[in-house]
Structure 1
Amino acid sequence: MDFNDGIEARHSVRSYTAVPLSEEERAALSQEIARSNEAGNLHMRLVVDEPEAFSSLLAHYGKFRNVSNYLVLAGTPAPSLEQRCGYFGERIVLAAQELGLSSCWVGGTFKRRLVKRMASADDRLVLVVALGHGEGKGHAHRSKSADAVTSIPEGTEVPAWFGAGVDAALKAPTAMNQQSFEIGWAGRTTQDGTPFASIRSKGGPFSAVDLGIVRLHFEIGARAAGGSFRWEDSWKSFLPEYGL
């Protein structure tokens, strides 16, 4: 399975078995976390065999069951922190999918004070991702159409890879399935002829985190279809560093 396949296969899972992560799974996740922390200037951390964070009534109300492993997403406070947590956190989520693990992004239904102690005192805790051996594979949610999340001038012909990127972006997990983003294409290029794509958030809960996740999905989908592009804003694609 590659990351494009992972996008197709991965769905949110809230119920897990009691099977612990193997040493091999822990090692593989830790390696990916270390790489992403370095590339994204983050302080993400894998916590294993710790069931207290999801033992509250709020977690029970959120239908979380047997969560004892989770990824803590945190870093030095900065305007781009949430978006970087989304981008690189989803990179870990897709790596977990490759290992046959399930996952779920979690914004609030965990004991925040307890999890905050897992991070440095100077860091800001953004959210967590539940990880483990899922009781099921989850299921797909309803999605908006490509037209609803793109901005393309009338009569403009877009390349096939742009459509593939948008399709992958529509499969990105977003808070409350809000899909509050817009990806743009205007045909502009850099001086060397590399086309630009744009992306913006339309707001909503955890919208900056969502934007990072959507960026990664678009990049993976577009590049799998042979696309080469640059973002119009200052965001750098980190896919080449990962060999994708």
Structure 2
Amino acid sequence: MITFETILNRHSVRAYLDKGLSLETIQALEEKIEACNKAAKLHFQLVTNEKTAFNGILARYGKFSNVSNYIVLVGKKRNLIKQDIGYYGEELALFAQSLGLNTCWVAMSYSSHCVKKYITLEEDEAIYSVLALGYGKTQGSTRKSKTIEDLSVVDSEMPSWFIEGMKAVQLAPSALNKQPVRFYLKGREVKAEALGGGYSQIDLGIAKYHFEIIASKENFVWNEE
């Protein structure tokens, strides 16, 4: 079960121990990946014990070391695909955290040429991101976040469920830690939007997952207009 504590304890980790994943852990990840793929018609794929994708100049520049396991976030090119990549990719990141693993969202610091050797890429599909995972040398560290007031607009006093959801949004990872999202509350309706940037739609999907899992869908409805 994913809790606020799971979110609070999950930080981006780029350096990993030389420790393989157990068969039990791999099976749990595969089952979760299958569930995410089925839920949103995605094609996420787990690659294990493979070091070439994070062994080049880009990985070293990004300060990645000893990455040998990763999830390739693949989907068909369609409307809202990037939000789904963020939403379900973060579901996997937090699930991995609950298994005692560490993760890091990776946009560019890997070799797509190497990755493509280990996955199946169907027609009209693309790689949108990669989730590095394994046992970190550290548990990562907390980064500065925008305030709830900076991340939201409300038409009245914030209810407690909205505040708790926004606390989770504050902890959502984003490209360059820019947090390019804003949440609007009107009655029980919540609208979330990206504020622009190359990865902002993925960042929005990540933030929406954080909000939804903590605010609880019984308290609100999404306004998708």
Smaller-chain TM-score bracket: over 0.9
| Residues 13-52 of structure 1: pairs in structure 2 closer than 5 A | 13-52=13-52
Residue of structure 2 in register with 1:207 after alignment: 200
Residue of structure 1 in register with 2:120 after alignment: 119
Distance 1:27 1:12 in 2: 23
Q: Please, which runs of 5 or more residues in structure 1 have no aligned partner? A: 188-194, 235-244
Instruction: Report the residue type matching 2:157 in the other structure.
Output: E
Shift, 1:84, TM fit: 0.5
Shift, 1:227, TM fit: 5.2
Cα pair 2:44 2:75 within 8 Å, conserved: yes
Match of 2:219 among 218, 222, 228: 228
| Residues 44-193 of structure 1: pairs in structure 2 closer than 5 A | 44-117=44-117, 118-122=119-123, 123-153=125-155, 156-187=156-187
Distance 1:120 1:215 in 2: 27
Instruction: Report the residue type matching 2:208 in the other structure.
Output: R
Shift, 1:2, TM fit: 3.2
Distance 1:78 1:180 in 2: 22
Distance 2:66 2:3 in 1: 27
Shift, 1:43, TM fit: 0.1
Q: Please, which runs of 5 or more residues in structure 2 have no aligned partner? A: none
Residue of structure 2 in register with 1:192 after alignment: none
Shift, 1:207, TM fit: 0.6
Local SS of the residue matching 2:104 = strand
Instruction: Report the residue type matching 2:198 in the other structure.
Output: P
State the Cα deviation string for residues 101-121 of structure 1 (Å, max 9, x = none). Answer: 000000001001222342314
TM-score by length of 2: 0.96
Instruction: Report the residue type matching 2:32 in the other structure.
Output: E
Instruction: Report the residue type matching 2:222 in the other structure.
Output: W
State the Cα deviation string for residues 55-107 of structure 1 (Å, max 9, x = none). Answer: 00110011000000000001111021111011001111011000100000000
- Count of residues in correspondence between the two structures: 223
Residue of structure 1 in register with 2:189 after alignment: 196
TM-score by length of 1: 0.88
Distance 2:198 2:46 in 1: 24
